[in-house]
Structure formats: C-alpha cells, structure tokens
Amino acid sequence: MSQITPRPGRIQRAPEGFLSPEQIREVSAGRRDFLRTAFASASMAVAGTSVARAADGDPAILTLPEHSTTLGRPVAERPYGAPSQFEAGLRRRESPGLTRVAGSSVSFSPLQGLFGIITPSGLHFERHHQGWHDIDPARHRLMINGLVKEARVYTMDDLMRLPSVSRIHFIECGANTGMEWGNVAVPTVQYSHGMLSCSEFTGVPLSVLLDDCGIDRKRAKFVLAEGADGSSMTRTISLDRALDDVLVAWGQNGEMLRPENGYPLRLVVPGVQGVSWVKWLRRIEVGDQPWATKDEAVHYIDLMPDGTHRQYTSIQECKSVITTPSGGQTLLDKGFHNITGLAWSGRGKVKRVDVSADGGRNWRTARLETPVLSKALTRFNIDWVWDGSPAILQSRAIDETGYVQPTYAQLRAVRGTRSIYHNNAIQSWKLADSGDVSNVQVF
Ligand SMILES: Nc1nc2c(c(=O)[nH]1)N[C@H]1C(S)=C(S)[C@@H](COP(=O)(O)O)O[C@H]1N2
Ligand SMILES: [Mo]
C-alpha cells in the first residue's frame, strides 16, 4: 500500500503528442521553475501544515475573477455543445508519414487525455480505406440477400422501428500497435494504442433481421457485410457470431453515429477487429463459405515467422496499456501518482490487471473501475509513490478465460517480428529520473 502524500505529483501531459524530447524538456524545465517559485512562499507561510497552496499570495484565489462579477453567456448560444477552448490540445491525430493520402488513412484517439471507458464521439478514432461520406439517411438502404427465404431491402425507418438494444463495446483496429512489432516506432500512447475506442452502440441485433428474412438453416454458414463507400469493404463473419451479439447499429453514445464512424448504419461486431465493423453498411449476404475478399485474403492476414499467412484471425485478444503516465508526458514531482489505464478482451470481461514499476519483476494488482463489461474497455487505477529514481511501468491484463497478456518475448516467439496485425504485447513506459516518460520495449 502506498501512502497518499498531501500534494499529488503533477504531470506535464503533453497532449500534443509529437513534442520532440527537447521541447518536452524545455516545457517541463520551465514548468518546474514556475512551480518551485509558486510554492516556495506558500510552503513557508504554512510550514508545518499539510496545505499545499496557501491562500496567501495566490492571486487565483485572492482576486475575484471577471467571471464571478459579470453575466455569463446565454443558454443555447451553442445549440450543439463543444469542448472548452482550453481543451484544444485534445485532438484525434494522424501519424505523420504513416499514409500517403488522407482519404485512406487513420486518425488516432488521444487515450492519454481520456477518462473512464467511453470515448467521446468526436474523439473516436477513424480508419477509412476510401474516405468518409455524410450519407443522407432517407436514401440509405440495407439489403439482405443470399441464402434466405426472402431477400429484403430495409430503409432506415424500417430498421429504427424494430426492437433495439444498447450495448457498450470497444472497437480496436487489428493494426493497432502494429508499428511496434519490430521495435519502438512511435512516441505516445495516442499513436501506439489510439486505434481503440469504446462507445455505447444502439441498434437492432443482426439475428432479428436474419430471422425476418428467414435464413436457410441447412446451408447458411457465413454472412458477408458490405459497405456503401468506394472501398468495396466486404468482410466474412461466421453465422454463429452473426446470430450471437452482432448489431446493425445507428446509435453511438446516445445520438446517431457520426459520419466518420459510418452514419447512418454500421455493423458492430463485439470483440472482433475493427475492419469487420463495416461502416455505411448497405448489404448482408448469407452464404455457405467464406468469401475470401481482398480485405480478408490480401489484407488483414498475419505474416507468421515461417513466411506463411494466417487468415481470419478476427478476435482482439486480451490487452492493456497505461495511459497516464505514458510516452511524452513528464512527471514534475516525486510522491503520489495515480497510474491509470485501459484493459480489454475480445473474449469477454477483464478479470484482473497487474501493474509493475520495475519492468515486470514485481507486480501489484490494480483496481478495476466499474462497470466491468464484456468486450468493453475497462478502466484500471493504482496508487503509486514515485521516489524519483528511473522506473519501467507496465500493465498486464488477464481476461475471464484465464488468458494472460503476453510479453514481447512471448508474442514474438509465436508471431515473429514482421507482422502488422494483432500485437497485444505488454507495453513498457520508461520513466527517467528527469521525470520524462518514453516508449521502450522490454523482453
Ligand atoms: N465501409 C467501410 N467500413 C469500414 C472501413 C472502411 O474503410 N469502409 N474501415 C474499417 C476498419 S479497418 C476499421 S479499423 C473500422 C474503423 O472504424 P471507425 O472509423 O469508426 O473507428 O472501420 C472498418 N469499417
Ligand atoms: Mo482497421
């Protein structure tokens, strides 16, 4: 157990992500001097007490600010709310140089700046193979055809009058952390793990629609989901899964999906890699064998150490990452720090998360914050007192099947180093005695 010291350690959170080490050092050095002067007089005045900031000398508490003496802005000035101007650093970001065209690219969620388990819709990561569209829902249709008694075409109105459910699930691109297979490639958790988001999705279970069309129970084994964008995004899903927890969803976090996330309709395939969550969903075909389309025969296959490719590895295995402190941040003080992060498993609930501060030699079990939901992000927290010496911070998740998140050595022993997809290895953040946190790999 750690003692909570009265003045929690402060963190330079560097939400910009791509600060150079020099810039980070500049910022944190400046900030430290500032903190030192700000607190010097205060701590003398209250010597012997546990108060961190004395009122004495702090203009932020002594002077009545303008906002306490003037009329505020009118209600509904912004009919659709937006974040504070002071949160402008919290942005989805493209990784410079990762892709050549922005229409076929990725933006990463700023995990380092998020709380809890729900990703604000405006910060949900994006992955488009052929750009995004804002499709008129009045003109959008979903067709179900193939091995069904009656092929049907649904309008959005048809779908939205059906009995719907709302469920919280994570979506993770299969290529998340893909740049880290061979060596450390990116500086921050936004770029190493930010193709990950979690929302409450609302829609109709795909099983309801398949029932409505009457699937040929004898021959039907698979379904194919197809998107309405120009990428010909088509993915095979086994019928078992399609009838289990897959949703045809229009809602995301209480409102309609955002255009970037598939408005007006997307598939939600809990636990499965993002590519199967077909956006702008326009067709479900029922068939008797996998289609082996381009996005499952050429892309989204795992290159194995022996040179062969593994197909149809869809589940996102148990994984976790510490989001604070994480790469690019700087601890400005010794003493108490809350270590926080996210854990998830495509196979069900997270059972336990352990945290190490010494590169995996010793582990302590973190607190899992409720709710702990199946195939959803789970938030963990653990108290920690930094004594100022270098440390390697790691988290290791275990899911309800008993599967333990692997080390890089364990993962590479099976998968090699030249893969792209399904890297769920334990992430290490190195904390230097300067307080700077950086991305390292520990074997
Ligand atoms: N129609 C269509 N669906 C798609 C894609 C796409 O390009 N077109 N990209 C897929 C991939 S690879 C991922 S990881 C997820 C990303 O979903 P998001 O953009 O809502 O985060 O959508 C999937 N569904
Ligand atoms: Mo993806």
**Any idea what the CATH number is for the domain that residue 155 is in?**
3.90.420.10
How many domains does one find in the chain?
2
pLDDT computed for residue 54 by the predictor: 64
**pLDDT reported for residue 163:** 95
Residue 160 and residue 288 in one domain: yes
pLDDT of 9 reads: 64
Boundary of a domain, candidates 260, 287, 310: 310
Residues of the chain with pLDDT under 50: 1-7, 15-21, 23-51
Residues 286 and 139 grouped into a single domain: yes
In a domain, 35, yes or no: no
Ligand 1 is surrounded, with C-beta below 6 A, by 124-129, 171, 173, 227, 229, 231, 233, 260-261, 274-275, 277-280
Tokens of 187: 């500086």
Same domain? 343 vs 237: no
**Ligand 1 atom closest to Cα of residue 227:** 1
Same domain for 362 and 215, yes or no, is no
Q: Are residues 302 and 323 in the same domain?
A: no
Q: Is 109 a domain residue?
A: no
Calpha distance 302→33 (Å, rounded): 49
Domain span at 330: 319-440
Q: Could you tell me where the beta strands, DSSP code E, fall in 21-156? A: 105-107, 126-128, 141-146, 152-155
Distance CA 357, CA 339 (A): 10
- φ/ψ of residue 414, rounded to 5: -95, -35
Q: What is the pLDDT of residue 102?
A: 86
CB 429 within 8 A of CB 437: yes
Please tell me whether residue 175 adopts helix, strand or coil conformation: coil
The CATH number of the domain where 397 resides is what? 2.60.40.650
pLDDT at 56: 74
Gap from CA of 274 to ligand 1 centroid (Å): 6
Domain end, chosen from 285, 310, 335, is at 310
Q: Which residues pair with 171 in a beta bridge?
A: 197
Picking from 310, 334, 368, the residue at the C-terminal end of a domain is 310
In this structure, is residue 215 part of a structural domain?
A: yes
What is the whole-number distance in angstroms between the Cα of residue 254 and the centre of ligand 1?
20
Alpha-carbon distance of 111 to 377, in angstroms, equals 12
pTM above 0.75, yes or no: yes
Dist. CA 105–CA 107, nearest whole Å: 7
Q: What is the model's pLDDT at position 97?
A: 82
Q: Which residues pair with 320 in a beta bridge?
A: 343
Quick one: tokens of 440? 């390292």
Please check whether residues 298 and 333 belong to one and the same domain.
no
Residue 40: is it exposed, middle or buried by C-beta count within 10 angstroms (0-12/13-18/19+)? Answer: exposed
Are 253 and 354 contained in the same domain? no
Q: What is the DSSP letter of 358?
A: B
Compute, in angstroms, the gap from residue 214 CA to the centroid of ligand 1: 28
Same domain (yes/no): 250, 328? no
Identify whether 42 is part of a domain: no
| Adjacent-strand bridge partners of 256 | 251
| Closest residue CA from atom 19 of ligand 1 | 126
Query: Same domain for 325 and 304?
Result: no
Q: Which ligand has its closest atom nearest to the C-alpha of 269?
A: 1
User: Which residue's alpha carbon is at the smallest distance from atom 24 of ligand 1?
Assistant: 278
120-136 in b/e burial notation, b at 16+ Cβ within 10 A? ebebbbbbbbeebbebe
Question: What's the gap between Cα 43 and its chain centre?
Answer: 40
Cα(140)–Cα(377) distance, integer angstroms: 31
Three-state secondary-structure class, residue 402: coil
Locate 69 and state its tokens.
Answer: 């003496």
Q: What are phi and psi of 412, to 5 degrees?
A: -70, -30
What is residue 405's DSSP assignment?
P
Say yes or no: 332 and 303 in one domain: no
Q: Decide if 115 is inside a domain.
A: no
Judge whether 219 lies within some domain.
Answer: yes
Instruction: Name the β-bridge partners of 261.
Output: none
Ligand 1 pocket mutation, candidates 275, 293, 420, criterion most atoms within 8 A of CB: 275
Whether residue 292 is found in the same domain as residue 218: yes
3-state SS assignment for residue 93: strand
Residue 108 lies in a domain: no
Distance from the first to the final alpha carbon of the chain: 27
d(CA 343, CA 351): 10
Do the beta carbons of residue 310 and residue 349 sit within 8 Å?
no
pLDDT for the residue 50: 38
pLDDT score recorded for residue 249: 99
CA atoms of 189 and 38, how far apart (whole Å): 31
Can you give the pLDDT at residue 13? 64
pLDDT confidence of residue 208: 98
- By residue count, the chain amounts to 443
> How is residue 113 annotated by DSSP?
G
DSSP state of 257: P
Cα–ligand 2 centroid distance for 147 (angstroms): 28
Judgement on whether residues 394 and 297 belong to the same structural domain of the protein: no
Q: What pLDDT shows up at residue 349? A: 98
Distances (CA, A) of 313 to 153, 230, 236: 31, 25, 11
In a domain, 379, yes or no: yes
Tell me: cis bond preceding 264? Omega within 30 of 0 counts. yes
Q: How far is the CA of 102 from the centre of ligand 1 (A)?
A: 14
Nearest one of 307, 324, 316 to 188, comparing CA atoms: 324
Question: What is the position in ligand 1's atom list of the atom closest to the CA of 258?
Answer: 20
Look at residue 211 and give its three-state secondary structure: helix
Q: Please, are residues 332 and 314 in contact by the beta-carbon 8 Å criterion?
A: no
